[in-house]
Structure 1
């Protein structure tokens, strides 16, 4: 491997048989990203489920249940305010020191924050201090999550072989489906507990169990090497002193484009958090366990469809798959809310399957490769992290916005579905303005078009 050091970077990059290729670890990188995302989204979903079903009753004063629900949804959204900060801080280290080191730190922050939430006293014990501590835990979760997806996507994409970047990088969000299933499998038996036990200790168990996923994910990540393309930057070019400033100066349009495209993710928080609260609330009154099962089954099936979407995007392009997903999500979101309002269990499962398992998988299988492919290696982590986390702020507050938009009566969900479609439309327009990157070699990504 010594002769790699003899050539300038361009020679190494243009030599397709370079020994640097031999240190790519696509399978190990995909596994490490899968497990890290499993932890992130396990924690994401247990918090979202608890915010919909538990937190209004134990972290806010008794009285108006709508105000308490709004408060719980707002604490859910506040985590998203910390995500851009986490993305900027940790991507700075990721682009300067290494992808692996930054991802190990983010993993620990997420695990400690989630386990800590499981030990919090309630409002009945210490009043508003409980609400404040819940907020601190959620901010720490958000800080970690802001760096996790961008770092895992960047690392996996750079380890992937040409022509298969979409497939390998799709495992970042296959971890999302795994985390969702894991969280729901843990929550379903607890949701069946008597109310007193659920509110006293039952809700804490899922947060404590974060330690198991944290331990496995951390162990795998310590055994992963940096991608060859990053090692070349360290060896031949000095990493940028301020990667975030560099990418905002040279590619601010791409950072903005990523932020707008990310509005697609409003669909996820609408489906998994707000629809759960709407379906189990007084307006509809469906069983908690039923709706948690809908979430688990429909998102669980996407563990198959997400990699499939990545494979298709390697063959026909990223943009086509994303646009098909946006159109499908827009139509099926109306069907999903309508079937909930009609309390039709068969149609709830059908539209849930089409929305999450099929069309939303077109998004989850592709965005993790589409975004890092917009930027060159030396600012890749920063560009993706800043753009995606700014765009995710609206997704985080969507359950609170939906709670405000919803109207009384059978069709009260229509403004919520309309808001979701508006976000999907904005995302689609931004996708259409982007460069198609599925057939662009790794060394040309983020460079001026030839």
Structure 2
């Protein structure tokens, strides 16, 4: 049974695998992973630059504490814009197709990232420099906000019921690979002097995006549209009035949207603090070499390339809920250990912290979450639904989290213990949210 574009229907995907179907699934998995790698590399090099560069380059006239908060404020703007990107591209992805939205998000992200690499500093254009930095970060946030949901659904909606977790993890693999590439890009500049790094070296990771986007676009154009969406369009009565996906969700699935946001805000915050603010804190306040911290993070992130699909597979076999709840609760505990371990100055302890937090705990949450969120919503509003949940969680965990943490560790603040309490509380909320949603791995996406 085939749809109008020659792809197999959802039932055929589940019941009648063939060589063409296997090739298409493989192509979709690779496209989702590579596309997400490029998008998240672009988005995450900003986080690394915010922790290492932007305070002295764009906010040099302020005190170190104020400059750091301002730098992480621009980082937060990108996360605050992600839900808007999810709503915009979710709407078009639900109405007109996942594939076209993904091509647009990749193009927009590439233009914004290269522009940051070319941005003049305040000594050249004055206050316009930090203003343009914020605008470009806003555009980055909109692009990556629209990317994640579409890439997840292209993989999940091509998969059969028993392997949705594994296929959905392609996007998280891409995010991990993008994070690894962003660390590697800055680690490769470790031989530069401080002056060289701050004057021109930091721009290179942004400018190399031109090549990466070209590769991603070539791969993404060759992927077929989601067969589940095509089947839904074929069966739909076009004469019936349709609500916009956002309004339909808020009317019919409001509770699931709120619980879906609660699912990932805590683990997202733990990851965001560990990979951005904690780097600056350990480097500036404890004198730990930047390269030491980046090396530990690179090793922890490299491990995720193996453990993300492993935990996703475990969620296919044993259920989303047991894997995810365990990860969230253990992350709540580790939140109190990561600051003492990383600021100890001992590389083995720093490495241990990043292996625990990233290779194990972040991977255990990252692996199942794409399929888990996709299984909560109907096809006609699924892109919008998963985007809302994930991007609002990102806004809370990745945007507000490091910004609040920067104020906590500033002189006169409550210190790092307050950061740990904040992360731990949201991880407990994550465990409770998944428990309230119940097990979802056997849900039929056609009737969700």
Per-residue CA deviation, residues 119-153 of structure 1 (Å, 9 max, x unaligned), is: 00001211110000001110000001111111111
User: 2:351 aligned with 1:352, yes or no?
Assistant: no
Q: For residues 165 and 12 of structure 1, what CA distance do their matches in structure 2 show? A: 13
Q: For residues 10 and 311 of structure 2, what CA distance do their matches in structure 1 show? A: 32
* Contact residue 35 and residue 213 of structure 1 kept, 8 A: no
Cα 1:415–1:16 change in 2 (3 A) is: closer
Q: Secondary structure at the match of 1:433?
A: helix
Per-residue CA deviation, residues 91-120 of structure 1 (Å, 9 max, x unaligned), is: 111001100001110011111110110000
Q: For residues 126 and 327 of structure 2, what CA distance do their matches in structure 1 show? A: 44
Q: For residues 341 and 233 of structure 1, what CA distance do their matches in structure 2 show? A: 53
Q: For residues 420 and 299 of structure 1, what CA distance do their matches in structure 2 show? A: 20
Q: For residues 112 and 125 of structure 1, what CA distance do their matches in structure 2 show? A: 22
Q: For residues 383 and 173 of structure 1, what CA distance do their matches in structure 2 show? A: 18
Shift of 1:352: 1.3
Q: For residues 13 and 177 of structure 2, what CA distance do their matches in structure 1 show? A: 38
Q: For residues 170 and 431 of structure 1, what CA distance do their matches in structure 2 show? A: 18
Per-residue CA deviation, residues 60-101 of structure 1 (Å, 9 max, x unaligned), is: 142401101100000000111211111111111100110000
User: 2:153 aligned with 1:151, yes or no?
Assistant: no
Per-residue CA deviation, residues 337-381 of structure 1 (Å, 9 max, x unaligned), is: 112232222111112101110111011101111101111111110
User: 2:256 aligned with 1:254, yes or no?
Assistant: yes
Q: Give the stretch that moved more between structures: 236-245 or 326-335.
A: 236-245
**Residue of structure 2 equivalent to 1:59:** 58
User: 2:33 aligned with 1:34, yes or no?
Assistant: yes
**Residue of structure 2 equivalent to 1:8:** none
**Residue of structure 2 equivalent to 1:277:** 280
Q: Secondary structure at the match of 2:375?
A: helix
Q: Secondary structure at the match of 2:115?
A: helix
Cα 1:99–1:279 change in 2 (3 A) is: same
Q: Secondary structure at the match of 1:159?
A: coil
**Residue of structure 2 equivalent to 1:211:** 210
* Contact residue 170 and residue 368 of structure 1 kept, 8 A: yes
Q: For residues 130 and 136 of structure 1, what CA distance do their matches in structure 2 show? A: 10
* Contact residue 114 and residue 137 of structure 1 kept, 8 A: yes
1:400-411 superposed matches below 5 A: 400-406=403-409
Q: Alignment partner for residue 331 of structure 1, among 317, 328, 333?
A: 333
1:101-120 superposed matches below 5 A: 101-120=100-119
Q: 5+ unaligned residues in a row in structure 1: which ranges?
A: 6-10
Shift of 1:416: 1.2
Q: Give the stretch that moved more between structures: 303-312 or 215-224.
A: 215-224
**Residue of structure 1 equivalent to 2:366:** 364
**Residue of structure 2 equivalent to 1:415:** 418
CA root-mean-square deviation = 2.3
List 4+ stretches of structure 1 deviating above 3 A: 11-24, 238-241
Q: For residues 297 and 342 of structure 2, what CA distance do their matches in structure 1 show? A: 13
**Residue of structure 2 equivalent to 1:160:** 159
1:127-206 superposed matches below 5 A: 127-206=126-205
Q: For residues 117 and 52 of structure 1, what CA distance do their matches in structure 2 show? A: 16
Cα 1:246–1:125 change in 2 (3 A) is: same
